[in-house]
Amino acid sequence: MSGGSDGTLRRTLSALRHDPPAVAGTVVLLLLLVVGVAGRWLAPAGVNDVDVDQMLRPPSLDHPFGTDELGRDVLSRVLVAARVSLEVGLVSVGIALLVGVTVGLLAGWYRGWVDNVLMRGMDVLFAFPVLLLAVAIVAVLGPGLVTAMVAIGVVYTPIFARVTRAGVLSVREQVFVRAAVSIGASDARIIRRHVLPNIAAPLIVQTSLSLAFAILSEAALSFLGLGVQPPDPAWGRMLYDGRGFVTEAWWLGVFPGAAIFLTVLAFNLVGDALRDVLDPRQLTVSEANRSRA
């Protein structure tokens, strides 16, 4: 076991500090957070300031990321779109976490028919390719930001259900759980106080990795025109709009594409580092660092 809860956070942070990719990932995520919150004010121009005299201008001092076919400032649009990506990522993963963990807890704790019904349902969702399922859900609910969030949330729910169920199945056999039953603790109390804290580590890791995939999925949905609706900027939508000018105006695709790439990479780096550090099989932080070297 990785030790007590008060020491775990400190140790995790100290281990991450000695891990250059994790530090880089964290820095990018912090920047992204700042841009997500304050993008509207950081942007040098309005996102929908059309200027027909400035159409398809390459990057310059006035427009560091160039302008699009309507003369809008690409940098401003990329900055403002960060908020959409973050929102969709957080809300959809939040939905997946809430529903998935609940399903996994019930399935793993009660087993039997509860387990069968819930997990077979999850298997059905899991069987579809991610994007196909998301597209199908959006097709039913109608395109838009909120439905994209719901669709991505549904798509990532089974992963959380599985991770949670696997953890519950192993923790519920531990003697300390039997001890809690012998004391007379209720199921709700045992799940809340004993099971959840002991499966938190894999869930934290899964959350950080899923954020990356959720943002990628949002970009894909927006690219397909099923996410954020124009004229609101979204990275995936900007890629779609720029694809027609890929030979004459490379900046239309490269900058939103790089934003997606950096965001996903940062979440992945942090997620990987967390996985190594929080792995309960690693006894100490120094061992975790050694094995990663």
Question: Which lies closer to other proteins via its Cβ, residue 5 or residue 247?
Answer: 5
Q: Out of 10, 178, 192, 243, point to the residue binding other proteins (CB under 8 A).
A: 178
Residues 273 and 207: beta-carbon distance below 8 Å: no
Which of the ranges 84-92, 110-118, 193-201, 271-279 carries the binding residues for other proteins, by CB under 8 A?
Answer: 193-201
Question: Which lies closer to other proteins via its Cβ, residue 52 or residue 175?
Answer: 175
For residue 235, give both structure tokens.
């990275």
Question: Which lies closer to other proteins via its Cβ, residue 1 or residue 127?
Answer: 1
| Residue 20 binds to other proteins (criterion: CB under 8 A) | no
Question: Which lies closer to other proteins via its Cβ, residue 60 or residue 116?
Answer: 116
Question: Which lies closer to other proteins via its Cβ, residue 4 or residue 142?
Answer: 4
Note if the bond before 231 is cis, omega within 30 degrees. Answer: yes
Provide DSSP, 150-213: HHHHHHHHHHHHHHHHHHHHHHTTSHHHHHHHHHT--HHHHIIIIIHHHHHHHHHHHHHHHHHH
The nearest distance, CB 96 to other proteins, in angstroms, is 24
Q: Out of 3, 46, 58, 231, point to the residue binding other proteins (CB under 8 A).
A: 3
Alpha carbon 22 to its chain's center: 16
For residue 79, give both structure tokens.
């900055």
| Residue 61 binds to other proteins (criterion: CB under 8 A) | no
For residue 275, give both structure tokens.
């996985």
| Residue 197 binds to other proteins (criterion: CB under 8 A) | yes
| Residue 184 binds to other proteins (criterion: CB under 8 A) | yes
The rounded distance, in Å, linking the Cα atoms of 129 and 133 is 6
The rounded distance, in Å, linking the Cα atoms of 79 and 82 is 5
Which of the ranges 78-86, 148-156, 170-178, 217-225 carries the binding residues for other proteins, by CB under 8 A?
Answer: 170-178
The nearest distance, CB 123 to other proteins, in angstroms, is 23
The nearest distance, CB 180 to other proteins, in angstroms, is 7
For residue 120, give both structure tokens.
């077979």
The rounded distance, in Å, linking the Cα atoms of 101 and 86 is 21
The rounded distance, in Å, linking the Cα atoms of 283 and 263 is 31
Question: Which lies closer to other proteins via its Cβ, residue 122 or residue 190?
Answer: 190
Please count the CA atoms within 13 angstroms of the CA of 83 that sit on its side-chain side: 16
Size of the site for other proteins (CB under 8 A): 24
The nearest distance, CB 8 to other proteins, in angstroms, is 8
- SS3 of residue 48 by DSSP: coil
| Residue 9 binds to other proteins (criterion: CB under 8 A) | no
The rounded distance, in Å, linking the Cα atoms of 211 and 209 is 5
Q: Out of 9, 127, 140, 183, point to the residue binding other proteins (CB under 8 A).
A: 183
| Residue 175 binds to other proteins (criterion: CB under 8 A) | yes
Sorted by sequence, the CB contacts under 8 Å of residue 225 that are 6+ apart come out as: 143, 237, 240
| Residue 239 binds to other proteins (criterion: CB under 8 A) | no
Q: Out of 4, 112, 129, 142, point to the residue binding other proteins (CB under 8 A).
A: 4
Which residue ranges make up the site for other proteins (CB under 8 A)?
1, 3-7, 174-176, 178-187, 189, 193-194, 197-198
